[in-house]
Amino acid sequence: MSVLEKTVREPVAPAPPRGRRTTAWLLTAGLVAGLVVLVPVAAGTGAYPVPVGDVFASVLHRSGLGGGELDRIAESVLWNVRFPRIALALLVGASLGCAGALMQGVFGNPLAEPGVIGVSSGAAVGAVAAIALGLNFAGNWTVPVLAFVAGLSTVLLVYGMSRSGGRTEVVTLILTGIAVNAFAGALIGLFLFFADTAAINQITFWQLGSLSQATWPKVLAVLPCAALGLTVAPLYARRLDLLALGERPARHLGVDVERLRIVLVLVIALLTAAAVSVSGIIGFVGLVVPHLLRMAAGPGHRFLLPGSALLGALVLLAADLIARTVAEPAELPLGVLTALLGSPFFFWLLRRTRRRQGGWA
């Protein structure tokens, strides 16, 4: 396949120094190990008691390798509630983490966030419209479908409006994003104003962000988007490194910057809109995760992109575990939790990074 040929033929150029490369490998191993441990723990934790042993027994039983079946409710909780939720947490977390790293790379700004270019608010307009107008053309799917379509079109709109003469300047792009965000905010406000109380409740809850509505069909809907985005992204790691030098220097080094931008903005939109459409607005994962990894293993995107996907998955799985267990049997909105934990952490990050490197290069 052409994708593979390309990767083989273009080994990544700027090899990091030994220390960083070792850190990257150790971190990758650590993250994978973390996931291997946390997934069964998350499967075995929740309001309904299913011990980890029973989780394995049930999985073995279903894959025909012995084990044993649990009682009906436990089986149902495990397979219809918890497993899809864990799968969705992993997919959404990986998508948000990777999209955050991509976005920061594309815009050459460590503070870039998918919200900046309007994916989140665009998706929110779609979802809010579906709820407020009581649209129901695709059943339970109406909200995610509209959120996805609106998020994607917002990104394309922002990108299209900020291009001139075949180029896109970061400042123009971000300013356009701000204007579009404001417009989306106004639309949401307008829908809220005309919505009835039940719809307002639903909108508020959707905006808080949650994985509580995880089902297998939703997992299957996000899976292709996430898989495509997460596979394509690392192919551009080397070129993203070069983009850190600036647009012109990157082009001088053989990067077709415009094409890189188009492809990556589409990938970002795909990853974020898919995630937002099923889970609502879950902030700070895309911002904090790449930052942490950059601090630990350097800014090379070869590690940063897959690493952010792994850490994003791990963080969101842990956050969701907390969200659904800390107030048993009710649950906290996940988006509120990530923002609550994420923003002070981000402040600390900012101050620390500023102190260390004396500004933003």
Partner 1 sequence: MKRPSGMARPLRITRALGAVRPRGRPVPPAAPVPGEVLAEAEGLTVRLGAREVLADVGVRVRAGEVLALVGPNGAGKSTLLSVLAADLPPTAGCVRIHGRPASDWSVPELALRRAVLPQSASLSFPFTVGEVVRMGRAPWTSVRPEDDGAAVAGAMAATEVTGLAARPFSALSGGERARVALARVLAQCAPLLLLDEPTAALDLRHQELVLRLCRERALAGDAVVVVLHDLGLAAAHAHRVAVLRAGRVAADGPPREVFTRGLLSRVYEQPVEVFPHPRTGTVVVLPDRAAGPSA
Partner 2 sequence: MRRLRTRLAGALLSALALTLTATACGGPPEAASAPPPDAASAPPDRVEPLAGTPRPALPATVRSADGRTLTVRRAERVVPLSGSLSEIVFTLGLGSRVVARDVTATFEQAARLPVVTRGHDVSAEGVLSLRPDLVIAESGTGPAEAMDQIRAAGIPVLVVAAATGLDDVGPRIGAVAAALGVPSAGEELTRRTEERIAAVTRSVPRDGTKPRVAFLYLRGSASVYLIGGRGSGATSLIEAAGAVDAGAGSGLEKDFTAITSEALVKAAPDAVLVMAKGLESVGGVDGLVKIPGVAQTPAGMDRRIVSVEDGVLLNYGPRTDQVLASVVEQLYGGGA
The option from partner 1, partner 2, none interacting with 185 (CB < 5 to 8 A, set by class) reads none
Helix (H, G, I), strand (E, B) or coil at 169: coil
* Nearest residue to 180 (alpha-carbon basis) of 194, 162, 195: 162
Choose the binding region for partner 1 from 25-33, 174-182, 189-197, 242-250 (rule: CB under 8 A): 242-250
Choose the binding region for partner 1 from 107-115, 125-133, 220-228, 311-319 (rule: CB under 8 A): 107-115
Answer yes or no whether residue 68 interacts with partner 1 by CB under 8 A.
Answer: no
Nearest distance from C-beta of residue 242 to partner 1, angstroms: 6
Cβ partners under 8 Å of residue 76, min gap 6? none
Choose the binding region for partner 1 from 15-23, 24-32, 65-73, 92-100 (rule: CB under 8 A): 15-23
Element (H, E) at 167: strand 167-168
Please select the residue that binds partner 1; options are 144, 280, 300, 307, rule is CB under 8 A: 300
Nearest distance from C-beta of residue 305 to partner 1, angstroms: 13
Nearest distance from C-beta of residue 314 to partner 1, angstroms: 23
Do residues 300 and 241 make contact, with C-beta atoms less than 8 angstroms apart? yes
What is the SS3 assignment for 106-165? HHCCCCCCCCCCCHHHHHHHHHHHHHHCCCCCCHHHHHHHHHHHHHHHHHHHHHHHCEEC
Do residues 50 and 74 make contact, with C-beta atoms less than 8 angstroms apart? yes
Phi, psi (rounded to 5 degrees) for 358: 60, 45
Please select the residue that binds partner 1; options are 24, 27, 242, 268, rule is CB under 8 A: 242
Binding-site ranges for partner 1 (CB under 8 A): 2-3, 5-6, 9-17, 20, 105, 108-110, 232, 235, 238, 241-246, 248-249, 251-256, 258-259, 262-263, 294, 298-300, 357-359, 361
